[in-house]
Amino acid sequence: MREQELVGRERQTADFVLTEHQRSAASQLGAALGKPGIFFLGGPSGSGKSEVYERAIERALAGEKQILILVPQIDDANALIAPFARRFGVENLCILHSAISPAERAAVWRSVHEGRKKIIIATRSGVLAPFADLGLIVVEREHDDSFVEEQMPRYDAREAAIELSRLWSCPTILVDHIPSLRAYFQIREKQITLLPLPNPVKADRHEPTIKIIDLSSPHSRARGENLGDQLRYALEENIRAKRQAILILNRRGGGTLLCPDCGYTPKCPSCEVSLIWFEARKKLQCRQCGHTEDSPARCPSCLGPGLRVMRYGTQSLEQEVRAIVEKTFPQSAHLVGRLDADTAKDKKNVAQIHKDWDSGKMLVLVGTQLIGSRFASKSLGLVGVVSADSFLAAPHYRALENAFTDFADMSGLLTRAKPAGTLYIQTFRAEHPLFERLKHFDYQNFYEQELSERKKFHYPPFVRLLRVNITGGEPRREAAAVTEKLRGILPAGSEIIGPTPPAGTHDQWELLVKFATNAPIDSSSLRRAVGGAELDPDPAVRW
């Protein structure tokens, strides 16, 4: 939404009556202005998180300070423009993300640098803006991996926001329904102040039901490529009732093996992450340390007949859903949409998806985690996770944490549904303890167990990670040389995993360094040791 479209809209003031918890949180945030500090403002959808931090924005504006609002996706940024314009005045607002033109970006940067724009709504690159007098930072959905820039120069916008808080002596507010594991640990260690907002009692909020579908049961097996009988029947009923539905596949999943009888997935004996199946070599390999092994002829856990490769595609899911929809509505061209990495490249297509969804014309949307909170609606009756196992078995140490927060996000899509909707989760591992924690949104006990495992296998937040990427020339030989040089400069207790070629590549090798969070490492010595290799500190997703 362009600024000129909002000019002339009447500014609105809040008539929201705060609860005791909301009033306490707003008071603490107001008192924190002018001082560095990190707060986590947590609570379910409808708990008043936005109203609380918007009160802090009002106080910062009254002091002529600038406010940075960081959101994960462009959709999230666009969704904030209209309500913020109505409340704070369009003259105070600007927007920063990759979809604006270079000329628009230059104009925004000038206005921010000159202090003419006070509220900057931005995706991750907003942390690089040339602020004149920054007084408050808000990070919406702080657990989202979209805040990590994987291209050079690499940075984590969440961590950059916290550093800006120190540099500008202003508070940073991390906002989410539940904290990330990183934030939970920092709250536990008294590095972040927790501001909890409990469940609201509101007529327009309806708690969704969570149903776990056990695909290892013969009665639940998928007849099609993706949907088991239970989810298929639920979707058909939802369609007949003309309610909307969302079906989600994991954008990070695929390539791991799974036993369809008991849910067993092979893991690396050293790294405790899922092994990846390489079809060409007929081998299982660990992405981190390079450990390889053959696929077992029978399942080591239940002695079942064999393991199968987990590969799911949004296109095949879309076709399967279209066939289901056509049984009730033969003219189904616009009733089913797809939002994934491929379709999201077409801005016009994304805009049409939003239009069809908001109007109720689209009944079923299939895709990946790109389907965010923007698609919550009152007519949404069903959200389906097609393969929870592709989340649980993702080949990196954060797999279970990401699965829990992703599933919680999906449940949150249904909180506006009227009548209440249902989150269906298909899995071959229905007995996994994560699901019982999820049903009760018991993130505290889930995170405590996860932290225990992280400590046992030496993963963050108990250590720091550094990925070293070697390309060009003879990367295998150079990687071995870099490894030896690093052994000579790393502090005692450090660990080097690899080197190994990343999945699907032949012209580069990588190694992973684990070292204590307080380890004294000289950056100049480190740079000399790795030469021209690429350094990726605290890699967030791939490992």
Q: Which residue has the higher pLDDT, 394 or 382?
A: 382
Share of the chain above pLDDT 70, in %: 91
| Nearest-angstrom CA–CA distance, 236 and 400 | 31
Model confidence pLDDT, tens digit, residues 355-364: 999 999 999 9
Q: Which residue pairs from 182-187 have beta carbons closer than 8 angstroms and sit at least 24 positions apart in sequence? A: 182/460, 182/461, 183/40, 183/142, 183/143, 184/443, 184/444, 184/447, 185/447, 185/451, 185/461, 186/38, 186/461, 187/40
Residue among 475, 519, 516 nearest 499 (CA): 475
- pLDDT for position 344: 84
Q: Which residue has the higher pLDDT, 109 or 418?
A: 109
Average pLDDT over every residue of 142-150: 90
Q: Which residues are bridge partners to 536 per DSSP?
A: 467
DSSP 8-state code for residue 487: H
Model confidence pLDDT, tens digit, residues 252-311: 555 778 888 888 889 888 888 888 887 667 888 887 787 888 988 899 989 888 788 776
- pLDDT for position 254: 53
- pLDDT for position 543: 33
Model confidence pLDDT, tens digit, residues 422-462: 999 999 999 999 999 999 999 999 999 999 999 999 999 99
**Environment class of 250 (CB within 10 Å of its CB; exposed 0-12, middle 13-18, buried 19+):** buried
| Nearest-angstrom CA–CA distance, 51 and 423 | 27
| Nearest-angstrom CA–CA distance, 257 and 276 | 7
Contacts of 220 (CB under 8 A, 6+ apart): 213, 214, 228, 229, 230, 426
Q: How confident is the model at residue 80 (pLDDT cuts 50, 70, 90)?
A: very high
Instruction: Answer whether 365's CB lies under 8 Å from 231's CB.
Output: no
Q: How confident is the model at residue 379 (pLDDT cuts 50, 70, 90)?
A: very high
- pLDDT for position 5: 42
Average pLDDT over every residue of 28-43: 96
- pLDDT for position 30: 96
Q: In terms of DSSP H, where are the helices of 149-228?
A: 157-168, 181-188
Residue written as token pair 């009923």? 237
Q: Cis ω on the peptide bond leading into residue 499 (within 30° of 0)? A: yes
pTM: 0.86
Instruction: Answer whether 313's CB lies under 8 Å from 304's CB.
Output: no
- pLDDT for position 505: 66
Model confidence pLDDT, tens digit, residues 206-245: 678 999 999 987 666 555 568 999 999 999 999 999 999 9
Q: How confident is the model at residue 82 (pLDDT cuts 50, 70, 90)?
A: very high
Average pLDDT over every residue of 390-413: 91
Domains by residue range for the chain, with CATH: 3-196 (3.40.50.300), 209-254+311-452 (3.40.50.300), 463-537 (3.30.70.1110)
Average pLDDT over every residue of 491-508: 82
- pLDDT for position 356: 93
- Rounded to 10 degrees, the C-alpha dihedral 194/47/67/139 comes to 60
- pLDDT for position 224: 57
